[in-house]
Chain A
Amino acid sequence: MITADRKPFEEIKASVKDYDKIMVLGCETCVAICQAGGEKEAEILASELKLAFGNEGKKVEVNDEHVIRQCDDEFMADPAFLEKVKEADIILSIACGVGVQHACNFFNRTITDKPIRVVPGLNTTFMGANIDVGLWEERCLGCGDCVLERTGGICPITRCAKSLLNGPCGGSSNGKCEINKDTDCAWHLIIERLEVLGELDRIKPVEMYKDWRPSHSGGPRKRVREDLRL
């Protein structure tokens, strides 16, 4: 899933302060699960904004709405919902960065008689897993060429601070990374896992240079499935 954190309240408030009719728009998928931008968080943020502007004597209308996914047209196509979007002066999206951009693109494609302004309320962080209650950890960088088959199912590109393909570096100490004693050394984990599997020989040959073209280094990526195209 994609994780995110809410931006500092003052930053959010400053980004919407010049508008009278604000819609806080939640997204009920990834960011709802990590409790940063779902229905409940949209409601809370709308209340906080009302209260803060109210205390300053500013008359502002703040509504909250939510959709299942802001990264998909079909969940935002309801005409009644689009009418509300059109009525607002600004949309404060608390989806991930994908959702913010896609909602903006969709609203401006479907509502053609008025430009729709969309700003983010979250900082999108990473693709990760919910490890424990209230704990998420990064697991994938989307490099476009998965190596997990030969690293015991633990990603060195993501989980090693130096993305080493032939680790561990000399900074590995007691199973922890040199950058932070709370961060596991990915290569320590890989070696432990491969030992259990009896596959330690897999990492003895030199892993050659990575081709970064399938990653973001190759430029913004696009996925086309011709068989699914209309």
Chain B
Amino acid sequence: MKSGSNLERLLEKGEFIITGELGPPKGTDVEVVKEKAAMLKGNVDAVNITDNQTAIVRMSSIATSKILIDEGLEPTMQMVARDRNRLAMMSDLFGANALGIRNMLCLSGDHQSFGNHPEAKNVFDIDSIQMIYMVKTMRDEHKVICGDEIEGDFKMFIGAASNPFADPFQYRVHRLAKKVEAGLDFVQTQCIYDMKRFKEFMKQVVDMGLHERCKILAGVTPLKSVGMARYMAANVSGITIPEDMIERLKGAGKGNVAAEGIKIACEQIQELRALEGIAGVHLMAIEWEHRVHEIVEMAGLLPRPKG
């Protein structure tokens, strides 16, 4: 075992995985974390803890991950290259490991111009692919970047993100291949609405055999409203939402749109599950933690297997 995490064990056993996501509070309110954690507990196998997502200051991903562990859930700590240089990253990774964090996600991070401190200086000392390589070196060679030995154990299941819908499309699979080459164990994709394009991407992934070297979790975000669908399509890179999906939401009528969105998400999960190379789904129910149980149950993924 590379990390001994529940996520790694279940993936190795070939279980169809479901991971969730939790955004830390914009402050110190631990109760908010506990409430969200309670809604996710038993419904997902691991929970991504975002790292100042969209460049907005929040409780640290490490601290929030530790709270989750104490609540009996398994976190996947996200780490962005925007806010830390290599020293800070490695030091935080030691700390995270010491606190029992065994899964992580290596990300570039949204540019600070999107967030609440656009005046900030960014770091980007190393990029997300180099971060994967760094963590793999720490784990497998037991060394930090400069070659010094690590004192004590270091275990981590290494994840990253992939956006099959960004441009240039034909290069996206090669970027994933580079991440796999750098040492990736699992990847979570951007949320999928354009199933046709995703299938094209997955065909390339399978043709290159990447699914055999790295576990692929498909991103799913249920649409709460027609407005949300339009917003995502306009503001999230590469997201296109097929017009017939929007029509279907509209057709559900007042008061029923959210339920229809959940139904669509469950159908997507079934379709993704049947795809070659898909090891699970990453359910990003943004500020919708209270509906996760319902979604996972409707998708036929309960009860969750024991690791």
A: residues with CB less than 8 A from B are 161-175, 178-180, 185, 188, 191-192, 204-210, 212
Give per-residue flags for B278-298: 1 if the beta carbon is below 8 A from chain A beta carbons, else 0: 000000000000000000000
Most chain-A CB neighbours within 10 Å: which of B126, B190, B238? Answer: B126
User: Which residue of the partner chain, among B108, B109, B113, B177, contacts A179 with CB atoms under 8 Å?
Assistant: B113
22 A-B pairs, CB-CB below 8 angstroms? A161-B113, A162-B82, A162-B108, A162-B122, A163-B127, A170-B108, A170-B166, A171-B110, A172-B166, A173-B166, A174-B167, A178-B114, A178-B237, A179-B113, A179-B114, A180-B113, A185-B167, A188-B167, A204-B177, A204-B178, A206-B133, A206-B182
A11 to B221, CA, bound (A): 50
A171 touching B178 by the CB < 8 A rule? no
User: Which residue of the partner chain, among A179, A206, A207, contacts B111 with CB atoms under 8 Å?
Assistant: A179
Q: Which residues of B contact A165 (CB under 8 A)?
A: 127, 130
A210 to B126, CA, bound (A): 7
Answer whether residue B175 sits at the interface, using C-beta atoms and an 8 A cutoff: yes
B182 touching A191 by the CB < 8 A rule? no
A192 touching B168 by the CB < 8 A rule? yes
Using CB atoms, name the residue of chain B closest to A176. B167
A168 touching B181 by the CB < 8 A rule? no
The 8 closest A-B pairs by CB, nearest first: A170-B163, A166-B129, A173-B237, A164-B127, A169-B108, A179-B111, A170-B166, A171-B237
User: Which residue of the partner chain, among B82, B122, B161, B171, contacts A191 with CB atoms under 8 Å?
Assistant: B171
Q: Which residues of A contact B161 (CB under 8 A)?
A: 170
Q: Which residues of A contact B181 (CB under 8 A)?
A: 205-206
Q: What is the size category of the interface that chain B forms with chain A?
A: 35 or more
Answer whether residue B84 sits at the interface, using C-beta atoms and an 8 A cutoff: no
Q: Which residues of A contact B113 (CB under 8 A)?
A: 161, 179-180
Q: How far in angstroms is the closest Cβ of chain B from A212?
A: 7
User: Which residue of the partner chain, among B124, B163, B174, B238, contacts A163 with CB atoms under 8 Å?
Assistant: B124
B166 touching A171 by the CB < 8 A rule? yes
Q: How far in angstroms is the closest Cβ of chain A from B233?
A: 11
A112 to B140, CA, bound (A): 64
Answer whether residue B81 sits at the interface, using C-beta atoms and an 8 A cutoff: yes
Q: How far in angstroms is the closest Cβ of chain B from A164?
A: 5
A95 to B114, CA, bound (A): 33
Answer whether residue B70 sits at the interface, using C-beta atoms and an 8 A cutoff: no
A162 touching B124 by the CB < 8 A rule? yes
When A162-B122, A204-B174 are in contact, do A170 and B145 touch as well, CB less than 8 Å? no
Using CB atoms, name the residue of chain B closest to A180. B113
A173 touching B167 by the CB < 8 A rule? yes
Q: Which residues of B contact A204 (CB under 8 A)?
A: 174, 177-178
Answer whether residue B273 sits at the interface, using C-beta atoms and an 8 A cutoff: no
Q: Which residues of B contact A171 (CB under 8 A)?
A: 110-111, 166, 237
Docked complex: B169-186 residues within 8 A CB-CB of A:
171, 174-175, 177-178, 181-182
Answer whether residue B125 sits at the interface, using C-beta atoms and an 8 A cutoff: yes
Q: Which residues of B contact A162 (CB under 8 A)?
A: 81-82, 108-109, 111, 122, 124, 127
A185 to B126, CA, bound (A): 19
Q: Which residues of B contact A179 (CB under 8 A)?
A: 111, 113-114
A207 to B58, CA, bound (A): 31
A164 touching B124 by the CB < 8 A rule? yes
Answer whether residue B263 sits at the interface, using C-beta atoms and an 8 A cutoff: no
User: Which residue of the partner chain, among A163, A170, A172, A178, contacts B168 with CB atoms under 8 Å?
Assistant: A172
B237 touching A161 by the CB < 8 A rule? no
A167 to B130, CA, bound (A): 11
When A204-B174, A208-B133 are in contact, do A161 and B167 touch as well, CB less than 8 Å? no
Q: Which residues of B contact A161 (CB under 8 A)?
A: 111, 113
Q: How far in angstroms is the closest Cβ of chain B from A145?
A: 14
Q: How far in angstroms is the closest Cβ of chain B from A10?
A: 21
User: Which residue of the partner chain, among B82, B127, B167, contacts A166 with CB atoms under 8 Å?
Assistant: B127
Q: Which residues of A contact B237 (CB under 8 A)?
A: 170-173, 178
Answer whether residue B143 sits at the interface, using C-beta atoms and an 8 A cutoff: no
